[in-house]
Structure 1
């Protein structure tokens, strides 16, 4: 399951530097697959291949946001999601729309960081 930042976010930015996958971005900021990962290109579900450095549209224009496809809930890095651990208003919560088991999250971590 990915983590989501709710609209209770106060935009403090405490979460962003804690993410080992660089999946957290400030509201309105474009994101890239290669930011914080070893990905040079990504094949999307529709078969489209995009460059890792190609800018992607922000998920939110108002609040910090998490790119769910880059979020591993810190599996393989930490015991708990670090964004939730440092959030002063508890707005980093499990995303019910992106439920993944431990095996899937670890596989995503390996893919993002090009581990064999």
Structure 2
């Protein structure tokens, strides 16, 4: 009978303990620890924030001339980092502008180098 009572008490204690998902949800519900935004009258900006769970985001948008007619394009550059479930730090850097969008990170696959192919001209 004593074993039954001890076993029930242990099951109740485990059932009442918060799960990792509940703890993570509680941390994610907290407001950002740091938050900063700067913007000018032309739409250029810089922002940075840090969350309670350790995610860091920084981004910057700046205007650059697109052509000789006086048009401008907003170039966006930034990075974000976070600690994954495996305890590793993941960092992703990105740019978007005139030459397209480029993303690189220590966890992203890398494309193989292109192989030069000889063209054979028939005689």
Judge same fold: TM > 0.5, yes or no.
Answer: no
How high is the TM-score relative to the length of structure 2?
A: 0.19
How high is the TM-score relative to the length of structure 1?
A: 0.19
Larger-Rg structure: 2
